[in-house]
Structure formats: C-alpha cells, structure tokens
Amino acid sequence: MKLAWLTDIHLNFLDKAERGLFYKEVLNSNCDGVLISGDIAEAPSLIYILNEMANDIIKPIYFVVGNHDYYRGEVNEVRDALSKLTQSHNQLFWLPASGIQILNATTILLGQDGWADGRLGDYQNSRVVLNDSRLIGDLFQAKILGKFQLLDKMQELADLDARQLENDLMQAISLNLQKIIVITHVPPFREACTYEGKLSDDNWVPFFSSKVMGDMLTQVAETNSGIEFLVLCGHTHGKAVYQPLENLTIKAGCAEYYRPEIQELITL
C-alpha cells in the first residue's frame, strides 16, 4: 500500500486547469490513497476543492485542515461543513470526524488539525502578527480584546485538539497494532519548525508550534515503546525531520505557494 503525503498545497491559489494538472501528478504516483496535513484552500472554497480533488483522483483522501483552511470563516462553521462532507462523500475522510482508520494489519491512521499555542518562544515580546488573527473569525474577535486574549483563544483551540488526539491514540493503542501514523497541521516540537533551512526563532515559534501536542505525544510514545509513531505535519513550509524518541518521528513538509507537490510516498 502506498500513500501520497501532501501538505500546504493551497489549491485556491491555482486555477481549475492548474489544479487538474496537480491531480494528474498525484494519480501518476500510483498511490493507493492520499494524506493531507492541512492548508488545502480557504474556507469559502474548501469544500468545493475537496470535492473536486476527490472526484478527479478517485482514491481515499485522509486529511486534516490547517489555519488557512479557516481563513474567511469561523471554526465551528468550517468544522460542521467538513463533518457533513465526510458523512456524504465516501472518498473524503476528515480525520477528526471519521476517527481512526485501520489501513492494514499493522498500521492505524488518525489525526487532528492542531493549532499553534504560543507556549514555545517569546510570545509576550514577539511583534509577529499573522493573518490568522485577521482572517479567522474566532481569532479576530479575541484579538480585538487584546494580545493575551488572543493567546487564550489559541491555547483553547490547541488544547482541545490535543485532548481529542490523545483520546484517539488511546483507542488506537488498544487495538495492539505495530504502527500509528498521526496527521496534524502544526509541528508539535520546536525542532520541527524550520523556514529556509533554519529553526524558527523566539519571535516566530510561538505561532509555528504546538507544545501541548508535543508534550502529549512524548508521554504517549514513552509509555508505549512497542509502537512506532510517525507524525506528519506542515504549516511552516520548511522541511524537517525530528526524532525525540526512538519510536517517535516527526516529519514536517516543505511547500511553496502556487507549486503544490507530493512530499513523500509512504509505503506500508
């Protein structure tokens, strides 16, 4: 079984013909399914593009969404639409709604979107302002109240996804398989946050990492040393591989706007 891993493809920046060429590239990889670790489009076009992709590729697409997928929308509205899409389309699996997926006799797939939580680096003194707090309704409303109200909202979203992922992991572990693949958008460790080959500094890493997710993954992997955990993420557009434990590997994908690509063909 071969799975094509994509991340940060931002297909809303391409016209229909350009998207079609990318879908053909995915098909030509002879993959059996597709994994996407977020930033597929933006809220107004997300459902249309997911349907388009599924109808062109005609293979299972397992995905989470990223911060850009919530742009020009609100979190609950986007998630409601994704849940309905997952229920209505038999080739589209938004993993927070579809739950754990048994891929073969040894491997389970699961995922949660994930959010930057501001706990790494120096959020208090950082002057970085991302479009997230302007273009995602929930974060915009929090930012109006102040910088630390925005941080509270970021952490609320990040903590919720981390708890839900932990619940999914506990269910997956109980099935006694050998490998668990986790898809999330935001890197769960600072060491996986790179841009142009350099680690993100204290100004940027608060917005590029999810410490709560990393802490949870470390604890779960430490207490389940017989299981191999592979975490696929994106968000920073910088390629990185980080292995904090012998049985826990984090891979972050590289990306350029207007140039979506296959990160890796994962063979199971």
pLDDT tens digit sequence for 223-258: 999 999 999 999 999 999 999 999 999 999 999 999
Which band of pLDDT confidence, cut at 50, 70 and 90, is reported for residue 8? very high
Question: Residue 176 burial by CB count (10 A; 0-12/13-18/19+): exposed, middle or buried?
Answer: exposed
**Cβ atoms 235, 250 nearer than 8 A:** no
Q: How far apart are CA 83 and CA 168, in angstroms?
A: 17
| Residues 6 or more apart in contact with residue 262 via CB below 8 angstroms | 4, 5, 6, 25, 26, 29
Which band of pLDDT confidence, cut at 50, 70 and 90, is reported for residue 142? confident
The pair of three-digit structure tokens given for residue 1, joined into one six-digit string: 């079984």
pLDDT tens digits, residue range 48-72? 999 999 999 999 999 999 999 999 9
The CATH code of the domain that includes 20 is: 3.60.21.10
Helix (H, G, I), strand (E, B) or coil at 213: helix
pTM above 0.85, yes or no: yes
pLDDT tens digits, residue range 92-104? 999 999 999 999 9
Asked whether the CA dihedral 257, 260, 264, 268 is positive or negative, the reply is: positive
Residue 195 has pLDDT above 90, yes or no: no
Q: How many domains does the chain have?
A: 1
The pair of three-digit structure tokens given for residue 14, joined into one six-digit string: 């391409």
Q: What is the residue range of 202's domain? A: 2-267
